[in-house]
Amino acid sequence: MKVEKLGYSHTEGFLENTLEVSVMTAIGIVGYGVYIPRYRVTVEEIARVWNDDGKIISKGINVTEKAVPDIDEDTATISVNAARNAIVHSGINPSELGAIYVGSESHPYAVKPTAVTVAEAVGATPDLTSADLEFACKAGTAGMQMVAGLVKAEEIKYGLAIGTDCAQGRPGDALEYTAGAGGCAIIMGRENVIAELEGMYSFTTDTPDFWRREGARYPSHAGRFTGSPSYFRHTESAALGLMDKLGLEVDDFDRVSFHQPNGRFPMSAAKRLGIPLEKLEDALCVKRIGNTYSAASMIGFAAQLDLAKPGERVLLVSYGSGAGSDAFSFIVTDEILEKRNRSKTVEDYIDKRIPLDYALYAKHRGKIVMD
């Protein structure tokens, strides 16, 4: 956008040679960081306990193992550690963060925001706004939209959006094979941007595919209903709506990340959209850390940014049950090379794994009743 200021003379009218042009710089991602707990339990180990065929299940969902938080890790600690990585990566002073939003469906408290703990633990308090957000697995990208809006309106200099979850699946339920843990933090602003935000678009309807009632420990889901009318319809509509809005074609994107409740759904969505698998492959973290819910599409996106070259266009589409999808298009800048390797990559975290058997996994996830 160009802002033009014209000089004015009473005798000669507008003067051309006093034309001042200030070009508003684009907004985008200034830094990002992830955190994934070190522990893993394999699909085969979970299947062994429930007398299922682990090999068949693992192949069916295209997931080999999932990340399990330590006993003293939760959504707040994962958020803080991801946020600290993002701040190191961005190179900003945390006191310049004007907004922090944490999107999750596993906030430690029912009442008392996770975002304030993050704000305090990264040194951003007290001069900022913050809130916890909830929209199944897309609350993190909803935070990105809010931060982008505040930055664009010049209300804040930098804003931080976090998608994070310590997902819980009822023991023996299909969700137990995939319910993982992890977080991704994204800082947006105008200066030293590593990926420019080209545009965003959302697709939202009331669709009851997955829910958890207040006070219930584990979520419920509508089985097969989670596929076509829900995940695929929203993910594809958001992706196509964004392309339509920006005048882009599928082939204009070099890398994509979709929400990944399992290893199959994002592959099918890519296929239906006509996106070759190699553009999605690097984002499919679900295969080795499970479904990280609010963090899933964002960690996949971070994995793409870890590898992206300047000039590449990256598509991010989240999906949250209930249901909605947020789509974003980013164009990677030269600055990404400058900031690379400042903090741990997605691969660094996925690589460092400590396997657990089902008994230790159950202890970690508080599935053992003590009273």
Partner 1 sequence: MGVAESWRTNQSRYLMEGRKCTKCKTLYFPIRQHCAKCMDDSMERYIFDTKGKIVEFTRIEEAPQGFELMVPYNYGIVELDEGVRISCQIIDSYSKDLEVGMPVEMTFRLLRKSEDQGILQYGFKALPIE
What residues make contact with partner 1 under the rule CB under 8 A? 38, 70-74, 76-77, 80-81, 84, 108-109, 117, 120-121, 123, 354, 360, 363, 366, 368, 370
Question: How many angstroms separate the CA atoms of 178 and 64, rounded?
Answer: 9
Instruction: Quote the least distance from Cβ 73 to partner 1, whole Å.
Output: 6
Q: Nearest to residue 78, comparing CAs of 101, 107, 110, 112?
A: 107
Question: Which residue number, 4 or 72, has a Cβ lying nearer to partner 1?
Answer: 72
- Catalytic one of 65, 259, 285, 312: 259
Instruction: Quote the least distance from Cβ 42 to partner 1, whole Å.
Output: 16
Q: Nearest to residue 32, comparing CAs of 172, 211, 183?
A: 183
Question: Which residue number, 123 or 311, has a Cβ lying nearer to partner 1?
Answer: 123
Instruction: Quote the least distance from Cβ 279 to partner 1, whole Å.
Output: 33
Question: Which residue number, 60 or 366, has a Cβ lying nearer to partner 1?
Answer: 366
Question: Which residue number, 244 or 348, has a Cβ lying nearer to partner 1?
Answer: 348
Question: How many angstroms separate the CA atoms of 41 and 113, rounded?
Answer: 30
Instruction: Quote the least distance from Cβ 80 to partner 1, whole Å.
Output: 4
Residue owning tokens 């295969």:
287
- Catalytic one of 65, 73, 105, 176: 105
Contact 96, 192 (CB under 8 A): no
Instruction: Quote the least distance from Cβ 72 to partner 1, whole Å.
Output: 4
> What does the radius of gyration of the chain's CA atoms come to, in whole angstroms?
21
Question: Which residue number, 73 or 105, has a Cβ lying nearer to partner 1?
Answer: 73
What's the distance, CA 310 to chain centroid? Answer: 21
The reply to whether 105 belongs to the active site is: yes
- Catalytic one of 107, 137, 184, 335: 137
The reply to whether 338 belongs to the active site is: no
Question: How many angstroms separate the CA atoms of 232 and 253, rounded?
Answer: 19
Question: Which residue number, 153 or 370, has a Cβ lying nearer to partner 1?
Answer: 370
Residue owning tokens 């070009």:
23
> Nearest 5°: phi and psi at 17?
-75, -5
Q: Determine which helix (DSSP H) or strand (DSSP E) holds 363, and give its type and residue range.
A: helix 358-364
> Nearest 5°: phi and psi at 25?
-75, 155
Instruction: Quote the least distance from Cβ 348 to partner 1, whole Å.
Output: 12
Instruction: Quote the least distance from Cβ 59 to partner 1, whole Å.
Output: 28
Question: Which residue number, 319 or 349, has a Cβ lying nearer to partner 1?
Answer: 349
Q: Determine which helix (DSSP H) or strand (DSSP E) holds 120, and give its type and residue range.
A: helix 114-122
Question: How many angstroms separate the CA atoms of 132 and 127, rounded?
Answer: 17
* Number of other CB atoms surrounding residue 48 within 10 Å: 14
CA quadruple 206, 130, 317, 104: dihedral positive or negative? negative
Question: Which residue number, 120 or 251, has a Cβ lying nearer to partner 1?
Answer: 120
How far apart, in Å, do the first and last CA atoms of the chain sit? 63
The reply to whether 249 belongs to the active site is: no
Contact 164, 104 (CB under 8 A): yes
**How long a stretch of residues is the chain?**
371
Query: Cis before residue 323, ω within 30 degrees of 0?
Result: yes
Instruction: Quote the least distance from Cβ 262 to partner 1, whole Å.
Output: 28
Question: How many angstroms separate the CA atoms of 255 and 308, rounded?
Answer: 8
The secondary structure of residue 321, as a DSSP letter, is T
Active site residues: 105, 137, 259
